[in-house]
Each structure stands twice: as structure tokens, then as C-alpha cells.
A and B are shown apart, each in its own frame.
Chain A
């Protein structure tokens, strides 16, 4: 290993453990030493510096390849002829890891900074910072793990820190409930994840990603089991990244402090699911990828439709997050690997910015979150407003922003997928969401910042947030522009992220791939899904047979389509909410059933309440009944039986045993009564008996 590799790995270990050290310090000495929050923030900025160094070294000097540090953790039971049980774990840095390190530490340190202002008067201020540090540690652990087991452990640690931070204001019932909901819903996905790990481990006897891929490439795990393993591992991502059907926890998680929403529930933790899919990407079969693509598309569409109707500023952003995560998953599923990951990076910046911006608004409005009571804030909070506009343009996919670059490449990928598979549902959903996204984001901006103030009292007191809160916004707004990623605002392919994050080669057997997934043509003789078998779609040429080619063909069509839709969405928002050409209320009335359906979030909570929760409660009640009646019945029956048996044996004891004893006593008494007569106490009687005895003896022994 070269010296630079060692340096980078050592730095990575430092990046991982610095936040943990901060957490320990704050938890144990937070009350004794003042202003430890500054130390924690300083630690995060140090981690950020290290991460930046690692990323620059890794991507721009070492380019591709993986730095790996593996050690043997468990080695037991190895004897001759039996391999025993061996577990290797460690850390690894490749380009994805390096970028994720920067994303996590950057957002985390900005959120630390922002929290100085936002959480200033909090009663558990130090504990809040401690948990932030703990979260950063866990998240960095996920990013750095080179094996799926360690990743799972950090995965759960992230879950617990999310739970702790959602329930930070646990005096509020809704907050503690939301924490529990997030934790339990995540658990559902994690069970699938763990079963997936077990399938992989039992078949391949390793948890290292490199070992897993090697084993699958060697054909040790294939067929339906491989597809199942891929989908089960994806279940973990469904939970963490709030994909349909486990998306219900994320909107509720907004009960936590807004900076936490920015860090955990928008930028980093929810992206962990996407990161997981990216990590295990080579082992996903064609079927698994198709499932992933559909889940992503459905999630993106579903969440976007709900976001249109919500009035809580954070709820809109939460559904927007789910929708964007759906985009990333969709991107990975259709094969646009680099685009999906690129969107993760850009989304982390602009969505964290949106949440911090909403935090700034909520802070100014004295913890008012209902957009219907805002309005006109543009004049009072110019910095927040302009940052917000940049973030919204970025998420809507308007040129010259980072969101345009990443989102456009995902949509291009989706269109390419449609061309190759002949299945246009996914691209249609994807493009539909572009319109919806632009609409709900500008609805939010107009309702919050434009027009006349609707709550004059709160408006009078609103003012621009302090510098610790606006600086992170400005930084994130800058990072939402295209220049940080590429110098050509219309070419996502030229960005360094897309160049350094190369779609890994699939290791699954050729028959289980979709054939066209590779960027270059491959021999398709043995592949079932050749284009020839696909239905003819319009006048589409059949010459498109592999992904790279399809991507190129669809590029300009896709870009034009997404731009048109995004502008239409913004226009629609302005027509309805700014110029009021169409009355929003009348519109609502005219499509009332649909509106109600969307306002109630597709009735998912009610559905789960009626099925899963009620089912669980029903089963619990049935078990309680079983416990109360059958088990207790058996116990009580056993008790009653024992009592009966005891009373029987008591009776036996009383009548038979005691009877025998008493009888012998009575008999003895009787005998005594009889014999007592002989014992008269009169010597003369004795003499008679003695004489009789002598006579008997005399006659008995007389010898005739």
C-alpha cells in the first residue's frame, strides 16, 4: 500500500471517530464544561476538511479504484478440513464513498452552525448537539463500511439517532409518536435487509462487498435466490429512504427540530438507502432492478401528488423529499447509476437548504408552520427568500442549477429505459413528477414569501434570521448552482461527479441481466430480453440495443420535455397563486374527491391503521385472549386438578391412612380394655394366674 493510500485511510478513520469523540465528550461533560457545542461544531468542520482532502486526493489524483483496509474480526472454529467461521470487516474508500463523506460532513457542519441560532433557547441544547455528533458518526460509518454487516450495524445506529432526534421534544405527544413510528416502520424494512444479508452470508460465507461480488461472479449465488437477496436488501433502502410502501414515517418525522429534518430527513440518512442500492448495485439482477425502478417511480409520483395539497411548509418539503428520493431510486433502477447518485449529491445540498430555509422562516414566524398564515415575507427576509428561490429552481430542474444536471440525467435514463424495454410507464411517471415538483415548490414560495401577509401580528415581528442561520443558506445556495459540478450547464456528463462515479459492472449471470444495461454493446445471444422480443412502440427504430446508445438518442428529447414541463409547472403555480387567474378554492371544489384523496395522503395512514396496525392489535388481542383463556386456563386447570388431587389424597390420608392408624389405636385400645381386666392390681388374682400358669406348665411338660 502506497503512503498516500495509508494517509487517506487513516484520515478516513479520523473522520469517522471524531464525531463519536465529540458525542462522548458532550454526553459526559456537557453539563460541566460550558459551550461544548462549539467544540462539537469545530470537530465537524475538521471532519469536513479531512473529507474534502480525501475526496480531492481520491477523485482527482488517484481516480478510479478502491482503497481498502480489511482486518479479521472473528475467526473461530477453524480446524483442518473445516473452514470455521470467519468474519472480515473494515473500511474502504472509493469515489462514491469519498463524495458521500464530503456530503455528510458538509451538511452536518452547516446544520451544526445553523442550530446555534435555531436551537438557541432549547432546554436540551447540549444533548441535541451530542445526538447530532452521534448521527454524524453513524452516517459516516455507513459510508465507510466495506462490508454489509458493519453497514447494517451503522444503519441501525442511524435509525436510533434519527429516533432520538425526531423525539427531541418528547414532551409533545406527536413528536414522541413520530419517533416511534419512524423507528417501527424502518424496522419493517430492516428485517428484509437482514434476511438479504443472511441469504448472501449463508451462500457466500463473507460479508465483504468485494467478496460478495466475487462469489456471485463465480456463480455461487444465482437464480431466484439472487434476485430475492437483491430485493430484500433493497427493502432496507425502502425503509430508510422512505419509499412506497414504507414512506409514511418521513412526513411525521418533521416533528423533530427543523435542522434535524434538514440533516437527517432530507440530505443524509434518507439518502443512505440510495447509497445502499448503489453499493450493492453489481449484485442486483435485472428483475430486481426493474422492481427498484417501479418502486422509485411510484414513490416519486405518489409523494409529488400529496405535496401539492399540503399546507404545512415542512410537510410539503417532506413529501418533496420522498418524491426526490423516488427519483434517485428510479434512476438506479433504470440503470442511470451515475445520475441517481449525482442526484443524491445535488439533492442533499438543495434540500438541506430548503429545510434550513423553512427553518429560518419558522424561526422568524415564531414556530408557525402553516403556509396559509404566512405571506409577504420576501421583504422581511431577503436572504432567505433568494436562497429559497435558488433551491426551488434547482429542485424543479431549471438550467444553470445543480438540480437540472442531475434530474435531467435521471429522466434521460428513464426515457432510455422506456426505449429499450418498451415500457413507458416509468418515464411517463417521471416526467409527470417534473411538472408537479415545479408546481408545488412555487406554490410554497408564493404562499410563503409573496402576496400580502395573512397574519399581521406575526408578520410585524418577523425579521431576517441571524448570520449563523443565513450563512449556511448562502453556502448551500451557492452549491446548488452548476459551477461546482461542471462548467457546461447543459452537459451533466461532463461533471466530475458523473465522470468519477462510474456504473459498476454487473456480476450477476448474463441470463439474469437485462442485457442492455451495459454502456457498451454485449453479446445478446443468450439474453432473453433482446429488443426483438419487445413490442413495437410507435415508429421507434429497433436499432437501439444498449443503454449508452439509448441515452444518447433520448438526451435532447428528454431535456426539452423536462424543461417544458418544469416551466409549465412554475407557470401554473403563478397563475393560480400569484395572479389568481384561477381560483384555487374553485379548483379544489371542482375536483373535490381527488383533492380530498390527496390531502389525506392517499389514505395510507388510514390504510395501514386499518390493516397493519388493526391487524397487529387484533392479533395481539387474539393472543391476549388465548393467553387469558387457554394458557391461563391450562394453568388454572392444572391448579384446579392439583387441588382436586390434593383433596382426594387428603381424603385418602384422612380416611384410609388415618383410619388405619386410628383403627390400630382403637384396636389396641380395645385389646387393652379387654386385657385391662386381667390387670386388677390385686395380688391374689396374680397368684391365681401364676398358679394356673404353673399348672399348665406342669401338665404341658409332664412326661408320662
Chain B
């Protein structure tokens, strides 16, 4: 069996990651867990960029974008964690379903 790792394999892994991320974002009630789902989605995207850089015609652009995304994800995580921390302080919960002050 010719074991050859190609673009398809990377894309499949990326798709699995993405799906897991979405699943996490949609199903988790804990805001932290939702953030973690978001991180998975971002990383699946990063994986795609890098894979296309290796096998595609994107030169280094994909890798640069991947780096940007990592930085962005870090900044985003920091801000979101701060928000979640504040929510917890204000509302005593991190359950996204219970945070509905704007609804009524």
C-alpha cells in the first residue's frame, strides 16, 4: 500500500477540526468551551492555508496569513477571556444561554 500523504488528507483533517469546532460552539453552554470551539475553527482554517501553501500555488502567502491568524486568535482569546471574566463577575454565570439581558 503506497502510503502517500497529500492535500486531500490535510483537507479532511481540517474539515474534521472545523466540524468539531462548530460542534463545540453550537452545543457547549459554557462560554469557555465556545471559545475553545472557535479556536478549533481558526486552527482548521490555518491548516488549510498551510496545506495550500505546500501543495498549491499560494507561495508563502498562506503561511503568512496563518501566522496572522495565530496572532489574531491570541488577541481574540485575550479579549474574549476578559469579556467572559467580566460576565462572570457581573452575572455570576458563564452559561451563554443565561446571558440574555438585552432580550427583554
A: residues with CB less than 8 A from B are 681-684, 687-688, 691
**B100→A688 contact, CB < 8 A:** no
Residues 83 to 104 of chain B near chain A (Cβ within 8 Å):
96-97, 100, 102-103
B: residues with CB less than 8 A from A are 22, 25-27, 34, 96-97, 100, 102-103
**B96→A691 contact, CB < 8 A:** no
**B22→A687 contact, CB < 8 A:** yes
**B22→A691 contact, CB < 8 A:** yes
**A681→B100 contact, CB < 8 A:** yes
- List the A residue with the shortest CB-CB distance to B22: A691
- List the A residue with the shortest CB-CB distance to B28: A684
17 contacts between A and B (CB under 8 A): A681-B100, A681-B102, A681-B103, A682-B96, A682-B97, A683-B96, A684-B25, A684-B26, A684-B27, A684-B34, A684-B96, A687-B22, A687-B25, A687-B26, A688-B26, A691-B22, A691-B26
Q: Chain B CB within 10 Å — which of A683, A684, A687, A688 has the most? A: A684
Min C-beta distance of A680 to chain B, whole Å: 9
- List the B residue with the shortest CB-CB distance to A681: B103
Cα separation A688 to B27 with both chains bound (whole Å): 10
Cα separation A683 to B98 with both chains bound (whole Å): 12
- Write out the residue numbers on chain B whose beta carbons fall within 8 Å of the beta carbon of A682: 96-97
Cα separation A681 to B22 with both chains bound (whole Å): 18
Interface of A is mostly: helix
- List the A residue with the shortest CB-CB distance to B104: A681
- Write out the residue numbers on chain A whose beta carbons fall within 8 Å of the beta carbon of B27: 684
- Write out the residue numbers on chain A whose beta carbons fall within 8 Å of the beta carbon of B97: 682
- List the B residue with the shortest CB-CB distance to A688: B26
- Write out the residue numbers on chain A whose beta carbons fall within 8 Å of the beta carbon of B102: 681
- Write out the residue numbers on chain B whose beta carbons fall within 8 Å of the beta carbon of A691: 22, 26
- List the B residue with the shortest CB-CB distance to A686: B26
- Write out the residue numbers on chain B whose beta carbons fall within 8 Å of the beta carbon of A688: 26
The 4 closest A-B pairs by CB, nearest first: A681-B103, A684-B26, A688-B26, A681-B100
- Write out the residue numbers on chain B whose beta carbons fall within 8 Å of the beta carbon of A684: 25-27, 34, 96
- Write out the residue numbers on chain A whose beta carbons fall within 8 Å of the beta carbon of B34: 684
Min C-beta distance of A214 to chain B, whole Å: 109
Cα separation A703 to B58 with both chains bound (whole Å): 24
- Write out the residue numbers on chain A whose beta carbons fall within 8 Å of the beta carbon of B103: 681
Cα separation A688 to B24 with both chains bound (whole Å): 11
Min C-beta distance of B20 to chain A, whole Å: 13
- Write out the residue numbers on chain B whose beta carbons fall within 8 Å of the beta carbon of A681: 100, 102-103
Given A683-B96, A691-B22; 8 other pairs, CB 8 A cutoff? A681-B100, A681-B102, A681-B103, A684-B25, A684-B26, A687-B22, A687-B26, A688-B26
